[in-house]
Amino acid sequence: MTEINLEKSTIRELNEALQAGSSGDKFSVNNTVGKHALSVGLTTNVDVEINGHVGYYCAGMNQQANIIINGNAGPGLAENMMSGQVRVTGNASQYAAATAHGGLLVIEGDSSSRCGISMKGVNIVVGGNIGHMSAFMAQSGCLVVCGDAGDALGDSIYEAKIYVRGKVKSLGTDCIEKEMRDEHKKELQQLLSQSKMSHGVEEFRRYGSARKLYNFDIDQVDDY
């Protein structure tokens, strides 16, 4: 285990050390005090445990690394993530996993507005609630919400799937509730197991695209 103390090391030194790590290496990062852009651009299968709260863009562009944040995370967590796994034991701020293409993001607490905006294949599991405009223009992947969802959930959604256990304040344009078939229950169960969430799949509802905005239709111009 390599320990990095951010009272003594700069953010650049931290990220250079993590990016230079070899598969299987383990790192512990301490005294974060809300600093920004920690553990970004990792491309190997390293384990990183961050002890403390983090600021903007932590774990951005992650690829293969397994990152655990023992605290809360600021805006842009795991932005453009490609693969690997990121877990936050606390809450996450706005636009977590924006434009992310793959991997698994687990937020054990709540996530703020625009969670999963323009997601492109990532799987996101939130243990608590999410804010408004989450999964806006979500293209593929899954967003699992074990609590409640705010306004305009799934606005302008494409083919991403949304599973919500609690209440949905309102659905966005072209997002509707859909049938929960066996294939969806199986997918949801796998995600809950991977995320170490103990809820039953029968407690969730599925939401997705009504597919009315794929092509322009003058008779539906008020929907655009």
pLDDT of 224 higher than 60: no
pLDDT at 124: 98
Task: Kindly state whether residue 178 falls inside one of the protein's structural domains.
Answer: yes
Provide the CATH number for the domain around residue 146. 2.160.20.60
Over residues 52-80, the mean pLDDT reads 98
Q: Which helix (H) or strand (E) holds 194?
A: helix 182-195
Token reading at 178: 């859909």
Please determine, for residue 12, whether its predicted confidence score (pLDDT) is greater than 90.
Answer: yes
Q: What is the mean pLDDT of residues 133-157?
A: 98
Q: List the one residue out of 104, 100, 30, 114 whose CA is nearest residue 67.
A: 104
Strands, E, within the chain: which ranges? 2-5, 26-30, 47-51, 66-70, 85-88, 104-107, 120-126, 140-145, 161-164, 175-178, 205-209
Residues of the chain with pLDDT > 70, as a percent, come to: 95
- b (16+ CB within 10 A) / e for 32-41: beebebbbbe
220: in domain: no
Domain that holds residue 122: 34-47+54-210
Average pLDDT, the chain: 96
- The candidate with the shortest Cα–Cα distance to 208, out of 142, 129, 145, 148, is 142
pLDDT digits (tens, 9 = 90+) for 119-128: 999 999 999 9
Say what the pLDDT of residue 212 is: 86
Q: Give pLDDT, residue 42.
A: 98
14 domain-assigned? no
The pLDDT score that the predictor gives to residue 215 is: 67
11 occurs within a structural domain: no
**What are 130-144's pLDDT values in tens digits?**
999 999 999 999 999
Q: What is the mean pLDDT of residues 85-110?
A: 98
**How is residue 29 written in tokens?**
């990062």
Model pLDDT for residues 188-223, shown as the tens digit of each residue: 999 999 999 999 999 999 999 999 877 666 666 666
Domain for residue 13, yes or no? no
Place of tokens 């197991």: 193
pLDDT, position 218: 62
**Among 147, 144, 129, 151, residue whose Cα is nearest residue 180:** 144
Give the C-alpha separation, 63 to 128, whole Å.
26
222 lies in a domain? Answer: no
Residue 15, domain member (yes or no): no
What is the number of domains present in the chain?
A: 1
Q: Check: CB of residue 64 under 8 Å from CB of residue 81.
A: no
